[in-house]
Chain A
């Protein structure tokens, strides 16, 4: 039984990372109806930039490097909104989706030309000790990022529920035209959303980068986020966070307890299997808003 909980807890820790990536998707989807394929690439670029500021080009102290990384992601947010999205306003969602695909390749390309193609080890000096809590082994590294993710989520909830800008962003995500009519500037709202998504991507990218090294496969965690979004319901922030945990726990438990019967290696597709099941019973996700359209 202890073993079960150990696998579960480890899965949940991975799940938090999935939640973070999913969160970035959900934020942008809610605010601008764009399914942002570049969310993974944003995480990648953030971790590359951090590596650049910390080790490759400069040797800034960690806090300054993080600040600079967020600044870089802010520049990306402005560039994406004003260069890519603004000319495509009112075009079909598919076009916007494809445009974010383009952004993915652009980010990867620029990342490669600035930072090179080798995988890099990102060391933030977070101790990686293992503690035993009630018979379960937990790494301090995982705990640290769990805490960071929790703070981030609480901060986001506060931002969206309690601040004027957050309220304006919720209004934009609810009804673009009505938001315009009460005087909310759409492009500014989108830019803020993309900046917030950039910050989320930074946290996710840094967490993944420190754990697995900064490498280009990082931009594929976007694919891990897909089942998360389907299970949680893409328009629900809470849903995405919970779904991330479900996917993390599910793939770990599945691998350990079901894997041996089918020859193992089910970790990669188990989340999709879960997502299919959810789609079958709840097409809008566990927490998604059911859309009933008038014909």
Chain B
């Protein structure tokens, strides 16, 4: 743990406030390549705000974000952040409900396809070949997440737990350098939670994705994550391995103590 490689993403001294509320007050954090890290904290700690900043939805009032050693322009749009290789899922689902599961996952692949509108019209064969290649990659993801049987189902017909899984599939389809998950296990029963936890862990260990996730459920986070950052009222109050976090009195006071574990 002492000699860390260069971080994949570094957020330095991030400040943002909404009206009078300081949502984030000088938070810095690093995400290292290959790790599975979690950002935890009680309600209103600024977890989702942090994710929204990392993914470009919010512009920080102050602070820098360095991705792969390069500082990101302050007003980078979410679609450019996505093009850089940062994918995310949402706390409240954001699937394209009008499309099938397959369509949703193919969309995740959009950025990797190169034929544009004109080449689609002119070199139809080429774009068809490209489509088939990407379809194969998508099938692998479908296989990985075990959603083969719902491939053609419209996303709007799926139960909540499966939707979350499809959203994860869509994010994986872009083969991101960094995957941000916003409460992937929120609102799930124990069985569904364990399923998703296993997929997240597999994506990290087997497929080698770097993942940062936000989670409420301390138990799952402690089990699967390498490193944890704890936020409280917009400030970082602790950082370390699950064992260190469990033993940190500050965290116990802010989070475990008041939330009752």
| Chain A positions near chain B (C-beta within 8 angstroms) | 163-165, 167-168, 170-171, 173-175, 177-186, 192, 289
Contacts and interface: CB of A to CB of B under 8 A. Distances in A.
A164 B113 contact: yes
Given A164-B127, A170-B98, A171-B96, A180 B78 contact: yes
Interface of B: 55, 57, 77-80, 82-83, 87-88, 90, 94-99, 103, 106-108, 110-111, 113, 115-117, 120, 127, 131, 170, 174
A284 to B, nearest CB: 14
A74 B136 CA distance: 36
Given A164-B127, A164-B131, A167-B103, A183 B111 contact: yes
A167 B78 contact: no
16 contacts: A164-B113, A164-B120, A164-B127, A167-B103, A167-B106, A168-B107, A170-B96, A171-B99, A174-B96, A177-B57, A177-B78, A178-B96, A180-B82, A181-B79, A183-B83, A183-B110
B176 to A, nearest CB: 10
A199 to B, nearest CB: 12
A183 B117 CA distance: 17
B110 A184 contact: yes
Tell me what chain A mostly uses at the interface: helix, strand, loop, or mixed: helix
B120 A165 contact: yes
Contacts of B107: 167-168, 171, 179, 182, 184
Contact of A180 (B77, B106, B116): B77
A204 to B, nearest CB: 22
Contacts, number: 82
A175 B94 CA distance: 7
Nearest to A172: B96
Contacts of B95: 175, 178
Nearest to A289: B98
A183 B98 contact: no
Nearest to B78: A180
B152 to A, nearest CB: 14
Contacts of A165: 116-117, 120
B116 A181 contact: no
B78 A181 contact: yes
A170 B94 contact: no
B111 A178 contact: no
A168 B57 CA distance: 19
A174 B110 contact: no
A182 B174 contact: yes
B82 A168 contact: no
B110 A164 contact: yes
Contacts of B57: 177, 180
Nearest to B120: A163
Nearest to B116: A165
Given A163-B120, A175-B96, 18 more contacts: A163-B117, A163-B127, A167-B106, A171-B96, A171-B99, A171-B107, A174-B99, A177-B90, A178-B90, A178-B95, A179-B107, A181-B55, A181-B78, A181-B94, A182-B110, A182-B174, A184-B107, A185-B77
Contacts of A185: 77, 79
B97 A174 contact: yes
5 tightest A-B contacts by CB? Answer: A183-B82, A178-B94, A174-B96, A183-B111, A180-B78
Contacts of B97: 174-175
